[in-house]
Amino acid sequence: MASTVIKNWDNKTWLSSNDYIKSFNKFLFKNIKLNPNSEILDIGCGRGKILGTIKSSLKLKVKPTGIDVINHKDKDKRINFKKSDATSFFLTSKKKFDLILIKQTIHLLTFKKIKRLLFLCKKNLKHNGKIFILTLDGKKNELPTFRKMKIRLNKSLKRDNKVLKLITRLYPQRKRKNFIYKVKINKKKYLTMIENKYISILLPLSKNEILEGIEEINYKYKNYIQFRDKLDCFIL
């Protein structure tokens, strides 16, 4: 889906916890009506834990489809996984979906590719199908950061806001919702996540910059870090 990939974004973080997934799926089910016959696609699915839980919760008759450019060995077995970028997938698949989920991945694409992706998603929706696009909240983000991480995060969030404006211009009837999850995480675990570059803004930083950031986080926070993980959600 993009040349820049993240191998650790949903690996042993709050994003992969049962509580987070349960909370996120509750948000989904509140905003879209799904049933055992629903067909679901997750673009940039990571390890597919969200899809797998949806499969079990709704007792889906057809395995939900997850696509990603990384084929994780520990991906969820309850999903139909395809190692592919979104454009290639849509050009070879004739399936139509009730729900297409694009969670925290659209920022990895150029504006041209975003337009193309949304066009293909719309084309491959069933009647009354919905597209859910989720990005980090750009206005009141609470993600724990160090100085250089904060600089890169602010730059990324500004671009995310431009992406959301683009989507609004293309699809003015879109609905906007917010998903908020209260995180309480052991500081040592969060430092390990930073070391593993769990978020795309950390990828360009050098080893020394990461180590400096770890020292800064270690000094700023006590044994446990608490914050709200806030996402903007556009529904098309």
Q: What is the CATH number of the domain that holds 71?
A: 3.40.50.150
pTM of the complete model: 0.90
Assess if residue 207 is contained within a domain: no
Collect the ranges in the chain with pLDDT lower than 50.
Answer: 1-5, 8-10
66 is written with which tokens?
A: 């997850």
pLDDT (0 to 100) of residue 6? 52
What is the number of structural domains in the chain?
A: 1
CB contact set of 42 (below 8 Å; sequence gap of 6+) = 48, 50, 51, 64, 65, 66, 67, 79, 100, 101, 103
**Cα–Cα distance measured from residue 149 to residue 164, given in angstroms and rounded to the nearest whole number:** 22
pLDDT (0 to 100) of residue 177? 96
Assess if residue 128 is contained within a domain: yes
pLDDT (0 to 100) of residue 94? 85
168 is written with which tokens?
A: 């609004």
pLDDT (0 to 100) of residue 1? 38
Backbone angles phi and psi of 108, in degrees to 5: -80, -5
Per residue in 91-121, pLDDT (tens digit) is 898 899 999 999 988 988 999 999 999 999 9
**Cα–Cα distance measured from residue 5 to residue 70, given in angstroms and rounded to the nearest whole number:** 8
Boundaries of domain holding 65: 14-185+226-235
Assess if residue 220 is contained within a domain: no
Assess if residue 3 is contained within a domain: no
Assess if residue 193 is contained within a domain: no
Assess if residue 118 is contained within a domain: yes
pLDDT (0 to 100) of residue 11? 52
Assess if residue 108 is contained within a domain: yes
CB contact set of 122 (below 8 Å; sequence gap of 6+) = 131, 236
**Cα–Cα distance measured from residue 82 to residue 1, given in angstroms and rounded to the nearest whole number:** 12
Name the CA dihedral angle for 133, 16, 204, 187, rounded to a multiple of 10 degrees.
130
pLDDT (0 to 100) of residue 4? 41
Cα 41 from chain centre = 13
Assess if residue 218 is contained within a domain: no
